[in-house]
Amino acid sequence: MASEVDERRREGTDETDAFESVEVGALDGEELWDRLAEGETDGPAVAVPSDAADPAEPADDRDVRTIPKATCHGCPHFGDPPELACTHDGTEILAMPDTEHFRVADCPMVVEGEEDIGDITAGNANGEE
């Protein structure tokens, strides 16, 4: 049976390949870094409206905490993949500062008095800059 499979593979045509082989130019790493540093882009740019709220600076009236992602993954309100969302009314997942934590706002499932691990991206345990 293995020999039959090998024979079919040898007889296969390029038309059955799932991918097309294309020639690409050489990549100059230094040139790429220079272009990135200069802000040069070949693709479309995305602009954020100047009046948009910065998720790093939550509104004063919201309870914002950085919590282990296991807290959200064990919650019945955690949205189904691929969407990263909370289905609890009024609660929002604001950011994922690293692969192990979520920054959430107004989550009733976070136990009162549970330690907020702070702004881990800035290395400050109090969440202040």
Domain coverage including residue 116:
61-129
35 occurs within a structural domain: no
The pair of three-digit structure tokens given for residue 119, joined into one six-digit string: 């702004």
Q: Which residue has the higher pLDDT, 23 or 113?
A: 23
pLDDT at 117 over 70: no
Q: Is residue 37 part of a domain?
A: no
- Asked if residue 53 belongs to a domain, the reply is no
Q: Is residue 41 part of a domain?
A: no
Cβ atoms of 58 and 105 closer than 8 Å: yes
Structural domains of the chain, count: 1
Does residue 17 sit within a domain? no
Decide if 126 is inside a domain: yes
User: What local confidence, expressed as pLDDT, does residue 59 receive?
Assistant: 58
112 assigned to some structural domain: yes
More confident call, 77 vs 27: 77
Does residue 102 form part of some domain? yes
Quote the mean pLDDT of the chain: 75
Q: Which has the closest alpha carbon to 118: 70, 69, 67?
A: 67
